Amino acid sequence: MNATYIPMEQQPVTAQLPSRGRVGMFVLIAAESAVFTIFVVAYIFYIGKSLTGPTPQDVLAAPIFYSICLLSSSVTIHLAVKALRLGNVSTFSRWWFATIALGGIFLYGTATEWHRLIYTEGLSISTNLFGTTYYSLVGLHGSHVVVGILCLTLVLGFALTGRVKQEHAYRVDVLSLYWHFVDAVWVVVFTVVYILGR
Amino acid sequence: MSTDSITWPQTGTAAHPFVDRLHEWVTTVDHKRLGILYIIYALVFLLIAGIEAIVIRIQLIRPHNDFVSPQVFNRMFTMHGTTMIFFVVMPVLFGFANYLIPLMIGARDMAFPRLNAFSFWMTAFGGLLLYFSLVGANGLYGAGNAPDVGWFAYAPLTSPTFSVGHSTDFWTLALLVSGFGSIGTAINILATVLCMRCPGMTLAKMPLFAWLNFVMAGLVILAVSPLTAAQIMLLVDRYLGGHFFDTQAGGSAVIWMHFFWIFGHPEVYVLVLPAFAFASEIIPVFSRKPIFGYSVMVGATVAIGFISMSVWAHHMFTVGMSASANTFFVLSTMAIAVPTGIKIFNWLATMWGGKIEFKTPMLFCIAFLFQFLAAGLTGVMLSVAPFNWHLGNSYFVVAHFHYVIVGGILFSLFGAFYYWFPKMSGKMYSETLGKLHFWLFLIGFHLTFDFMHLPGLLGMPRRIYTYEPGRGWDTWNLIVTIGVFFQAAGILVFLGNLLWSYFRGKTAGSDPWDAWTLEWSTPSPPPEYNFSVIPTVKSRRPLWDLKHPADPDWKFE
Can you give the residue range of the structural domain that contains B181? 28-555
Question: Does A49 reach chain B within 8 Å, measured CB to CB?
Answer: yes
User: In this complex, is the C-beta atom of B3 within 8 Å of any C-beta atom belonging to chain A?
Assistant: yes
Residue B236 at interface with chain A, using a CB cutoff of 8 Å: yes
Cβ atoms within 10 Å, residue B529: 10
Torsion sign over Cα B62, B68, B69, B73: negative
In a domain, residue B7? The reply is no
Tell me the backbone φ, ψ of residue A11, rounded to 5 degrees.
-145, 150
DSSP B79-108: HHHHIIIIIIIHHHHHHHHHHHHHHHTT-S
Test B225 with A35 for CB contact under 8 angstroms.
Answer: yes
In Å, how far is A52's CA from the nearest CA of chain B?
8
Contacts of B9 in chain A (CB under 8 A): 3
B194 touches chain A (CB under 8 A): yes
- CA B349/CA B49 separation, integer angstroms: 37
Total domains present in chain B: 1
* Integer Cα distance of B487 and B52 in angstroms: 14
Q: What is the 3-state secondary structure (H, E, C) of A66-115?
A: HHHHHHHHHHHHHHHHHHHHCCCHHHHHHHHHHHHHHHHHHHHHHHHHHH
pLDDT category, B210, cuts 50, 70, 90? very high
User: For residue B268, what pLDDT is reported?
Assistant: 95
Q: Which of residues 114-173 of A touch B (CB under 8 A)?
A: 125-126, 128-129, 132-133, 136, 140
Q: Do the chains contact at B186 and A27, CB–CB below 8 Å? A: yes
- Residue B390 included in any domain: yes
pTM of the model: 0.94
Nearest CA in chain B to A25: B187
Chain A CB contacts of B183 under 8 Å are 28, 31
What gap in Å lies between CA B154 and CA B159, rounded to an integer? Answer: 9
Chain B residues touching residue A34 (CB < 8 angstroms): 221-222, 225-226, 229
Question: B341 lies in a domain?
Answer: yes
Q: What's the pLDDT tens digit per position in B287-307? A: 999 999 999 999 999 999 999
- Secondary structure in 3-state letters for B343-394: HHHHHHHHHCCCCCCCCHHHHHHHHHHHHHHHHHHHHHHHHCHHHHHHHCCE
pLDDT at B316 (0 to 100):
94
Q: What is the largest CA-CA distance in chain A?
A: 76
The partner residue sitting opposite A126, judged by closest CB among B242, B511, B531, is B242
- Alpha-carbon distance B144 to nearest alpha carbon in chain A (angstroms): 26
Condensed to tens digits (0 to 9), the pLDDT of residues A126-172 reads 999 999 999 999 999 999 999 999 999 999 999 999 999 999 999 99
| pLDDT for the residue numbered A37 | 97
Residues contacting B225, CB < 8 A, separation 6+: A31, A32, A33, A34, A35, A38, B179, B183
Residue A8 pLDDT greater than 70, yes or no = no
All domains of chain A in start order, with CATH: 21-49+61-196 (1.20.120.80)
Going through B180-278 in order, the beta strands assigned E by DSSP cover none
- Residue B386, preceding peptide bond in cis (omega within 30° of 0): no
Cβ–Cβ below 8 Å for B543 and A133: no
Q: Is the pLDDT of residue A1 over 50?
A: no
Tens digit of pLDDT for each residue in B130-142? Answer: 999 988 877 666 6
* Position B17 in a domain: no
- Chain B residue with the nearest C-alpha to that of A133: B244
**Binary contact (A3, B228; C-beta < 8 A):** no
Write out pLDDT tens, residues B447-456.
Answer: 999 999 999 9
Restricting to A residues 57-116, those with a Cβ less than 8 Å away from any Cβ of B are none
What is the phi/psi pair of residue A110, to 5°?
Answer: -60, -40
Domain assignment of residue B141, yes or no:
yes
Query: Residue B186's closest CA among B111, B289, B295, B100?
Result: B111
Task: Tell me the C-alpha to C-alpha distance, in Å, between residue B487 and each of B278, B318, B362.
Answer: 21, 33, 19
Tell me if B478 is assigned to some domain. yes
**DSSP letter for each residue of B155-180:** TTTTSTTTS-SSHHHHHHHHHHHHHH
Average pLDDT over residues B226-235: 96
Is B543–A6 a contact, with Cβ atoms under 8 angstroms apart?
A: yes
Q: Is there a contact between A42 and B190 if contact means CB atoms under 8 Å apart?
A: no
Tens-digit pLDDT profile for residues B73-94? 999 999 999 999 999 999 999 9
d(CA B368, CA B441): 12
| ipTM tops the 0.85 cut | yes
Give the C-alpha separation, B542 to A9, whole Å.
Answer: 9
The pLDDT score that the predictor gives to residue B25 is 94
CB of B527 closer than 8 Å to CB of B437: no
CA distance B516 to chain A (A): 12
Give the CATH number for residue B374. Answer: 1.20.210.10
Q: Is the pLDDT of residue A5 over 60?
A: no
